[in-house]
Amino acid sequence: MPFQIIRNDITKVHADVIVNTANPKPQIGSGTDSAVYAAAGADALLAARREIGEIAPGQAAVTPAFSLPANYIIHTVGPAWLDGQHGEQEILRACYANSLALAAELEAESIAFPLIATGVYGFPKDAALDIALSEIGKFLLTHEMQVILVVLGKKAFALSEQLMGSVEAYLDEHQVQALEQAEYADGRRLAEARRRRAALLSAQDVPPPGMPRNAALPLKQLLSDTGDNFQQRLFRLIDERGLDDVTVYKKANIDRKVFSSIRCKKDYKPAKKTAVALAVALELSMQEMTGLLACAGIALSPGDKFDLIISYCVQNGIYDIFRINALLFEYGQPTLGA
């Protein structure tokens, strides 16, 4: 998928470009900078870095990657957090924008970022994440590149307290409801099974009122009247909203080749996270999303954490897939896209 969040050491990530949160001067700093020098080969990288000279905050420069599993290292200098009133947000945005632009100039197919400026520079992690997602999302709307946000540990990643509190309350409420409903599930399942069996026997043996028994609809016709398949419903929704394919697959965090396969295969059966991603890209209501997923034989469960997070986002008008993925990542759930 075009955008991923992973837990790893960035010096071990295989990508065309690795981004380093660099010291402004050509010397080895701490944190990510120190780790990158150690993994790349400190002497060779420092010599290349000296050829560049000083880098201003927000700017980016490139060196070879030497011993790293990459072709290039892009060095960018993040802002030291003071109070948020000294242009820190603008500098951090420039770090991502300039690094991505330089990667595009290098014709890179993939780039891996740390969460810039959240270590010794002290940028608040939730605000830094919001800026990273915003700038990466903006870039991917007009470029084809795999962008990986690499988080080393649990403490390096944080969502806003307001969002987390709201989601926690939503999950608690609905999981309690699911537990209460489970107490009576066995009886309901038995009744539902009996109802379905009766309906099946009725469909097979009992014609509609006024129709002779031997004139009941054949099974082939019954199956042909089930409505749209997933592909048909998806592209009808796209047309109804006046959207084009590129906009949809980019907003869904789906690779162009995967989307082309959906377009070409009438019997395409999507994975759940792919189907949900497309529903998010189309900004469907809960009812519309449920209908689209049903065409693929997929349903959202009131007791599943992934499903509850998706429901929360849709009900609260959160359709930015990168922010939804950050939320899913925080809860250890699969992220959306393909």
Would residue 16 show up in a list of annotated catalytic residues for this protein? Answer: no
For 156, the token pair is 């390096």
CA distances in angstroms from 51 to 54, 101, 310, listed in the order given: 9, 21, 49
| Residue 24 DSSP code | S
Asked if 46 and 60 count as a contact pair (C-beta separation under 8 A), the reply is no
Determine whether 164 is exposed, middle or buried from the number of CB atoms within 10 Å of its CB (0-12, 13-18, 19+): middle
What pairing do the DSSP bridges indicate for beta strands 60-64 and 146-151? unpaired
Q: Nearest to residue 320, comparing CAs of 154, 170, 163, 168?
A: 163
Q: Which of 33, 126, 245, 304 is catalytic?
A: 33
d(CA 60, CA 111) in angstroms, rounded, equals 14
| Residue 10 DSSP code | G
* Number of neighbouring beta carbons within 10 Å of residue 335: 21
d(CA 116, CA 93) in angstroms, rounded, equals 10
- Active-site residue list: 33
